Structure 1
Amino acid sequence: MAITDIFKSWFNKENKTKTATPASTGSAPKVDTSTKVPAPNVDDVHRAEGQSLVDIVFNSSQLSISLIALNKIESQQQLADIVIKHTIAKVRLEAAQRLHDLAVIADTAEKIKQSDKGAYRILRKKIDDSANQEKAIEQHLQLLEKLCQDVDSLHRQTSNPLFAAKLQSLQQQWQQASKMQACPDALQQRFDQAVLSLQKIVTQQQHEKAAIEHAQQTQHATLQALHDLRTQSLALDTLNDGVSMGASLEKLQQQWQQTLDVHSPDLVLQNEVHALFKQLNQLNQLIEQSLKQLSELSALVERVIAQPDDFDSSQSLKELIKTLQLHKHTQLPAFFQRLQAILIQVEKRHRVAPTQEIKATAKPPKPEAKDFPEFQQLITQISQAIAEGNSRQASQYLKSAQQLAKTHKLHEPRLVQWAQELQQLKDWAEFAILPKKEELVAKMRQLAEHLEAEGLSRLDEIKALQAEWQAVGMVNNEAEKALWQQFKDLSQQAYAPCQQYFDQQKAIQEQNAINREALCVELEQYLAQMPDVVHWPTHLSIIKKAREDWQIHHPVDSKVHKKLLTRFNDVMQGLEKKLQDEYALQANRKQALIKEASHLLELSSVRDACQKAKELQQTWKGLGSCGHAKDQKLWEEFRQQCDAVFAKREEEKQARQQQEQANIERSKQLLENLAVLVDLEHIEERQQQFDALVQELQSLSLPKETYQDTRQQLTQIKQQWQQKIDSQAYEAKASQRQAILDALNLCFSAENAVLAGKAISIEQHQAARQQLNVPNFFNSALNKRWQSMAQLKGDNPQEHAQLFQENCLVLELLLDLPSPYTDNETRTAKKMQLFQQQSYPKTAEEKQNMVQQLLVQLVSYSQLSPDEQAQAMTRLSAILAHPSLNALL
């Protein structure tokens, strides 16, 4: 009993006590509800449960009960037995679906392999799914292990220019793998720790890079400030303006020194800055020294300007300027350049004065014998060379002119004068050139003694001193030759740091070549090992970073650069081609979406077109980039197509709203027209018009807010219409029932007159009967009764009365009307007779036919006595007055 209770509890049924069905006689037995069933032992119940469920599955005659019991079985072995032994395929398939123990599944599948194909397919699929799942898990773990190894190996590649990009790529691959399947905690922790460590390195590199960039910016700003300071110092007109130069120079030196702790600049920049510092320090020292002698210097300048012929003042100014050692400076401020110009003018004035005296005492030149253009050109060149102080060229031109004058016996007194001036210039040149060259030798010696690496700036200084040596001119004596040998030897000594600079530049170029080659190797490996699924934003960032790193590793020797550039361009073209292929693929997909969107307007349903446009937009969002410019262009085309669809929807919406408004106005008009029809008389004649208006109203498309109200009004109007139709139909039926009574009274009246021997007009009575609204199925019987009225003999009146009463009794029985009290027994007997004869109508149609036949028979009975006529009319009036007779007539 306990097992039954448990089984019923699974179906949510209570163990209710059955009660006996009461019989026709006797009372129901009482049930003792106080008796309780003892609870079974739990272990016994569990064993009994499993066994009873298996028994139910195997022995139940109802499939639904077997399936319900099967769903309660948890034992895999019992389910396997059901799969192997049960005779019903559906039960076996359901049991196979519930198996999940792989060992049991494999054993069961092997046993039913040849006997049950359906269950075997289910079990085989479970085995295959399990194997595929294990394989997928194993592949996933292998992928995660590889990513962990890659991120671990990345610690050894911190100097790789693609270090940050590789880390980002590995993180993205890990995220994608994590989304596909959960990662083991150990691998996740290992990867996270490695990534955290690498991110610290990336952050440190970014900070170092930012510091280096800031230092580089500061170094270039310092260089620019030094250039500006030099420009300002060279433009000094008064020495008082250069008082703050020392403080500015010291500030820039501190600023430069601070940047050297962060970043060591390239030698070109470093040498240029050092050269500027050196030049500005010399200028600062010159200005500071000159400020100490400024008063004396200003006084001598004013005296020389006021008295140009004062030789003593000019000599004192010359000696004072000589103490400043202006010759050591390649560039001088404007103030000192002006002093030099004043001194040169004074010296030139002192040299020209004797010449002018000679000119004054000389005899007037004899006129020339002949004028030659070539000679005139030489005269012009001699004059210009002497005016510029170029004694070498002047000597050459003078020698040519003297030879030409001697040949052609030309007389030119200026040749003698120019010869004297040229001799004075040579004497002055010897006096001025040798000291100048001695100064140049001293400058070159100073360069040679300071051997710190200054690179190209030192080379520029050497070239400037050599150019200045050439520009000074030549004396062609032993003293000059000795100076030239010293200058030459010192130039070679000064050039040694330049050679060191070039060696350093060569080492830098070699290192840059190594870095560029390493970059090419990294890019080639990346190109060769690119996976099928590429994260294209990372790919694009790698391309950009590679180009930046290529520019950073500059300069490189031209011969090596040419080979590396070819290699770099080849691998970059490969990467660009991958990217361009992806761009082309995405562009084709987007163009396909544009083409598909362009056909949306051809759809018959705008709603479907808009839904499809939204789906295409979602698909567009999932596509990758095809390049910013191409993306923008294609997006504009795609948006135009979608906007056209939505614009059409808006147009149709507006048109629909306009149509709905027109329908609202039309519905109001139709409701008014229907209300007018309801108020008219004889509405049965306007039924077709009413139906047409209702049909038109129902066909109108109305908004929700007005549809319900319109429907309610239409329902009320239809109810009013139907009520009026029913009322008129009821009146018509009542008129027909009254016409039957009137026709029967006419028949009785005419028959009584005939039986009394009175003459009657059959045609007149028949015309009066035809004016009555008698139902069609009475006409035949009435016509026959009228036609036989002339032959009435008064036979069998009692028989006709009895038949009339019997028919009335059957009608009362069919219409459930009360019969006279005296006819109750007869009514019961008649009812039993009808049931026994199976004549009692079973359907409404049979009932209608039977009622019509009985009524026709009633109007056919004639020759009733006056009392019987009165009684018949009373009883028939009660029958015809019954409401249910309307549906039967």
Structure 2
Amino acid sequence: MAALLRRLFKSRTTKLKTPAAAVNKQLQQAEAAKSAKEDRDARIAKQLEAVQGMPAQTKLAELAIGGLTAEVRSRAASDLRDEDLLHDVIRQAKGRDKGVFQIVRQTLQQLRDVQAAQNELEEKRQQLIQQAQDQARSEDNTLYEPRLDTLIKQWKSVEIDASNEQITEFLGATHQCRERIRQGQQQQLQKQQQDEKLDQRKQTLTLLDETLIQLKIDDTREPPTLTALDALLKTQLNRWLEASENTDVSAPEQSRYNTASAALRAYVEAHERLTQVQEQIAKLATNAVPGDGTIDDAELGVETAEQAKALLVILDWPTTFPRPEPIIVLQTLAKQRKKAEPVEQPDLPRQNSLSADLDRLLTELDSALENKQLKPAKQLLKNVQQISKKLDSRHQKPFFARTQLLQGQCNELSDWQGFATTPKQIALCEQMEHLAEQPIDPEAKATHIKELQEEWKNLGGSSDRLLWARFRQASDAAYEPCKAYFAAKSDLKHANLATRQLICQQLQEFVAQADWSNIDWKVTERIHQTARQEWKAAWPVEFRDNRPLQKKFDELLKQLDAKLNDERQRNEALKQAIVTSAEELISAEPLTDAMAQAKELQGHWQAIGITRHREDRKLWQAFRQACDAIFARREQENSRQKQAVMAADEQVTNILERADQALSASTNSDELNAIWTELAIYNPEALSTSTRDRYSDVRQRLHTAKQRQELIARLQQWTGCIQARGQAPIDRTDVPLEWTKFNQLDQPIDFQELAIRTEILADQPSPAADQRKRLEIQVQRLAQSIGAAEQSTSPLTDAEKLVALWCLAPASAAASKELEQRMVNALESLV
């Protein structure tokens, strides 16, 4: 029953408290909802701003899943492009956010379509490269060139995104194809040229043979024009050289030409020599003719005959041709014995000067032959022969034998050097042929070919046309693989040149059209870096073509650098100001404000734009040192606080240990009050967490112990009063003043009711005989509590009222010992 009444009282009390508590709770909930809404709106605005600020892909993925509104999630999902993040988002959005799921699925499909198109283009590029390579190796020449043109047209449609390696492969293959076409055309052209050259050589041989036959049967008294013969020799020589160049001439054919041209040249040279001594022959003939105009052998002198013989030696008329009249005259004069009259020598100083020059040249020729210098020796011998032709017979005679000797030595040296260099030239041919078979890098092969050609040139060439043809053929074969490489390299250079032209054009447009007063400097700096990187990647290029383009690119970069450097210097000045401010905060007080301002400066630092890397590092180090110094003060302060906490913990711990001992020993209240006073001196916030928790626990225990002792003292006082009232009435002056203020002090007292009420407060059972009355009292108290505006503060206060009523009851009222004992027992149970 008592438990039932307690539940009834508790339920009633709760119902009475509900309206006010509900109002307070609703107000709190409204404030919390308003704050939550404001916080949510701020977070939504921040998320929208983040989406519009083009954040990183990872941030977009987070917003696409965790965005507070559908708009935020949709925008973030629309800007997401990373495939891995898209898969992650669609997996999380499935079944949770249909809008994001649809957007991400469409984006993934678009990426798949783009990738499929790229794969298709890539496959087509590879197929075209393979087809070009197959055609380069194919031996089928049917419609070869049209097929190549078709491949090139198809390649142009897929070339835009091709890599440099793919472009190089395709260009290399197409160049091989073009080379095959060119080789076929060259072979056909060479065949035509060979046929034409053969016909030209036949015509040359025929013309030379006919000319020689005509010379041998012509009337010697009217010789042919030497100018015409010389022109004929030169034209036919050029004709023969052109007709025999880069072609194989048979030995009989070459021998026939050499014989005919040598015979004709000997005839022309003999006539030239005859022309030079015509005056001498005429003088000899005049001196040898008597007054009557007839030649008398007996009257001719020996000197004239000697001179005629010398002239015949100099003239060296070819025996295969008819003798002209001057030769016949000289031969006639050479047979005479009689000494002729001396012939007058014209232009003697010039003859002497030429003789001196000839002597000097012969000396130099002798020295060159001794030093085995064939090429200078040949040139000197040629000069000697030219001067000898200009001398008369008397001045020629002293040098004749010497000239013949040195000419023979020159011929021997030529034969000897040819014998010495031929094995070396054969070795060079073999090296070149071996090089042609080696699959080495084209650049290295071309360099090696050039080195072998230089060695051949340093050997002085070769008079053996077959050996020279062998070396040249080996050189062409060795260089053949290099042609495609250098052709592809040339095309690559042109492509790179076009790329650099485009870079210059785009850079020029950017510099000219940019709004420098309102521009994203980080993007501008990235454009600058990208332009340099792409320019460097577009290599190699032809130096001559690139030179003006490089100058233009450097000028554009210089203009862009000037703009960037101005902005960097402005930003560096801002950062320098931040460094100065941070250094001033090192000693600023209070420390918390200094640290807050330092954090603000860090935020300002991050907001500043581009700077030069080296200068930024210097400024950052200075700024970092200043910030470290500021926050180092916090560490020092924390260290001091930590030491203070440790000292306080040590002092408080000693007091707490005394308190534990006092509480466990049930010490009197005076000692507990003293310990309580000692603990009150210390601020709990100045203690460590563990000590603060222990401090709070001990303080609570001390408070409880003090309350218990006070309660025990009060109950002892009350029981003493009750027991004293049982012996005699109590004077009102001997009780607390507040007891006299209760309303019912002058009313009749029912000691039984007081005992029952006290037992109800103490939750103690009443005797069975009083159960009915106890129930009535409980119902009465319930009714009073329902209509009362206030309730008693505590059971102890209600008990004190009952004790006051008991003790200050009228003297005429008396309580039995049983009721008195029940009252005392109920009060003691309150402890």
TM-score after normalising by structure 2: 0.33
TM-score after normalising by structure 1: 0.32
